[in-house]
């Protein structure tokens, strides 16, 4: 007898599913496919695409410790520091090690 399990992505109105043929290998099958569990809720699963959005959303800005800024953290090409879009290390402020703060990349 074969028991099949299907994991459904729980993020962002996503309809991705992952078929798991061996229930004893759920964790290894998910990991090999790039799927992740929510660290706070092991019953919540995310496909690789949604997980990448969650990782970006949850990354905290090292300048102001915010995780609710708009957009993504950007890295200064000169000093390597990450900055968010609206903290005191934002794109209007020099990085401290260089004068060229207009060239922040995504």
Query: 0.75 exceeded by the pTM?
Result: no
- 3-class secondary-structure state, position 13: coil
Q: Do residues 40 and 65 both lie within one domain?
A: no
> What's the confidence (pLDDT) of residue 38?
77
Q: How many domains does the chain have?
A: 2
Q: Do residues 47 and 66 both lie within one domain?
A: no
Q: Do residues 15 and 47 both lie within one domain?
A: yes
Q: How far apart are the C-alpha atoms of 100 and 79, rounded to whole Å?
A: 10
List per-block mean pLDDT (blocks of 10 residues) for the chain, which spans 106 residues: 83 87 83 83 86 70 65 66 60 50 45
């Amino acid at each position: 007898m074969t028991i099949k399990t299907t994991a459904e992505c729980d993020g962002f109105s996503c309809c991705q599913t992952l078929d798991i043929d061996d229930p004893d290998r759920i964790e290894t099958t998910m990991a090999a496919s790039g799927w992740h569990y929510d660290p706070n809720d092991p019953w919540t699963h995310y496909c690789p695409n949604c997980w990448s959005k969650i990782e970006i959303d949850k990354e905290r800005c090292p300048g102001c410790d915010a995780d609710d800024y708009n957009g993504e953290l950007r890295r200064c090409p000169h000093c390597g520091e990450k900055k968010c879009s609206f903290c005191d290390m934002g794109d209007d402020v020099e990085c401290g090690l260089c004068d060229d703060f207009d060239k922040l990349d995504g």
